[in-house]
Amino acid sequence: QVQLQESGPGLVKPSETLSLTCTVSGGSISSYYWSWIRQPPGKGLEWIGYVYYTGTTNYNPSLKSRVTISLDTSKNQFSLKLNSVTAADTAVYFCARGSRELELRDFDPWGQGTLVTVSS
């Protein structure tokens, strides 16, 4: 059974770069789309972007200028970098997999999520 686990700093200073890693266990990175999704405290879900197992990426236009998502197949991990953060980027960040091989669609499974707070 595939499991995802987010890791990274829980506190980032304004104007700096938020960096998170998602480690995939119980399965391979191959043949799937891998996404980052965030949820500000008490609010709804926002898709940030995906990386395909080939390395192809696609980002939410609202964040595109600040986001990079990359893959490390040797470690079975993918990563998120969000630069020039502000308090508005404070959120729980989830990593998730596309539910079906080779298809862009819904998300399953998800990581447990990690809270990142932007504050000086």
Partner 1 sequence: DIQMTQSPSTLSASVGDRVTITCRASRSISSWLAWYQQKPGKAPKLLIYKASSLDSGVPSRFSGSRSGTEFTLTISSLQPDDFATYYCQQYNDYSPTTFGQGTKVEIK
Q: What is the smallest separation between the CB atom of 45 and partner 1, expressed in angstroms? A: 4
CA dist., res. 72 & res. 60, Å (int): 21
**Token representation of residue 114:** 């990690």
Q: What is the smallest separation between the CB atom of 66 and partner 1, expressed in angstroms? A: 14
Cβ nearer to partner 1, comparing 77 with 114: 114
Cβ nearer to partner 1, comparing 16 with 68: 68
Cα dist from 2 to 42, 76, 89, 91, 98, whole Å? 28, 11, 28, 24, 12
CA dist., res. 57 & res. 67, Å (int): 10
Chain residues in the site for partner 1 (CB under 8 A): 44-47, 50, 58, 60-62, 94, 96, 99, 104-108, 110-113
Cβ nearer to partner 1, comparing 85 with 96: 96
Cβ nearer to partner 1, comparing 19 with 63: 63
Q: What is the smallest separation between the CB atom of 83 and partner 1, expressed in angstroms? A: 19
Q: What is the smallest separation between the CB atom of 64 and partner 1, expressed in angstroms? A: 9
